[in-house]
Amino acid sequence: MTRIHAERALVAGRELTDVVIEVADGRITAITSGESPESADLRLGTVLAGSGNAHSHAFHRALRGRTHDQGGDFWRWRQQMYAVADRLTPDSYERLAEAVFAEMLVTGWTSVAEFHYVHHRPDGAPYEDPNAFGLALARAAAGVGIRLTLLDTLYLTSAPGEPLLPEQSRFGDGTATAWLDRWQRLHETHESNEGTVVGAAIHSVRAVSPEDIALVAERLPTEAPLHVHVSEQPAENEQSLAAYGRTPIRVLADAGALTPRTWLVHATHLTDDDIALIADSGAGVVMCPTTEADLGDGIGPARELADAGVRIALGSDQNAVIDPWLEVRGLEAGERLRSRRRGRFSPTDLESARTSAGYAAGGLPGGLRVGARADLVELQPDSVRTTGACLDQVALVATATDVTKVLVGGRAVAEDGRLADGRDPATLLTEALKELP
């Protein structure tokens, strides 16, 4: 057993002092306050639960700072993204993902749900190991110590009824059955791996037909998390209505794919009926405020979803920004801009979105509570940003710069902006990006 002593910690929305967190097999087994430290304790200062990144595309990080000069919209950005995807190899992606995951870790993201759809060679032919890219991502996460939920993604059409575009060839498996077979092999490879959860994703209603969505919903193991991009753009809704006479949410519901294990990414342009369907199903929503702002997607109905009882998690998506604290602020700021009112989410709501909901989206128990993974973040309480802040509101003022130490499974994996072994994420990124001119 490991004992961690925190001078103060945020537990169940309350600031406690002299907190002892007991850890066994990487999980929290007890939390008590008002206790003096012992000589063998791991001593920490101000402690919060680790952040659960519920949506990431690691390779999009290569576009940071390179897509902002000529305006445009999501669809123009997408063409630049395809160009990066075309240059990836399993080896280069492993190095890039390791660097991106390292950056996540030092900012306080302690788990990541990687929505992974680059599977094959540029012409669509499989590698000798058809899961070469997925295995590379798993190695990258293990190499830095972040928890990974690998969401292997089904991607079959460019639009309803339309074949994949040439630049999408490496995303597809031809049929849903072929994808399920490959997914099963990937799952079997990692089913005993404590550090990696293998989940699944349906890229979108644009990319998978209702019939194939239903097949996946039927055949995918019930314990596997299932994620779907949904209603990110009005054009997606228009295509779904034209092809199926239904919104994407209704398509998912009718196919049996809207259940408590389902997480809907973005959900920006929803109808009232969509929100009711999501709430009735028990599905969750992943919002990615910095990406939705960067791509000009719009501001989703977060308050309406929460009022209906829908769980909301946060993700870094395209990784133009990697900072959980900015995603928290983006969620609240978007609501303030929509409503012209402050305090749309309580500090407890925002903490849940950052921690336990993000972990739940990855099929993991999170938060600073007994039974959860012992993934913790130590913050500097008296920086120019955080000094004077109440602990339950510190996420609204902190940034990644304020993270001083990160623990995963009770073990220190990062400190003062570097990995525990001393590696600098900036150096890792610089070297990885050289392979993707």
Cβ-contact 302, 313 below 8 angstroms? no
At residue 54's C-alpha, the angle toward residues 69 and 198, to 5°, is 120
**Max Cα–Cα distance, the chain, nearest Å:** 67
Is 317 marked active-site?
Answer: yes
Contacts of 111 (CB under 8 A, 6+ apart): 50, 51, 52, 53, 146, 147, 148, 149, 358, 359, 362, 364, 366, 373, 375
The residues pairing with 358 across neighbouring beta strands, listed in sequence order, are none
Cβ-contact 417, 402 below 8 angstroms? no
Q: CB count, 10 Å around CB of 41?
A: 16
d(CA 52, CA 315): 8
| List 60, 266, 269, 294, catalytic entry | 266
Report the residue count for the chain.
437
State residue 285 phi and psi, 5-degree precision.
-125, 135
d(CA 35, CA 380): 22
DSSP assignment letter at 317: B
59: left (phi over 0), alpha (psi -120 to 50) or beta: alpha
Contacts of 13 (CB under 8 A, 6+ apart): 347, 348, 351, 392
DSSP 391-428: GGGGGGT--GGGEEEEEETTEEEEETTEETTS--HHHH
d(CA 418, CA 422): 6
The residues pairing with 42 across neighbouring beta strands, listed in sequence order, are 4
- Could you tell me the two tokens for 257? 């794919």
- Could you tell me the two tokens for 3? 């004992």
Cβ-contact 118, 152 below 8 angstroms? no
184: burial class by Cβ within 10 Å (0-12, 13-18, 19+)? middle
| List 152, 297, 317, 375, catalytic entry | 317
DSSP assignment letter at 77: H
Which residues are marked as active site?
266, 317
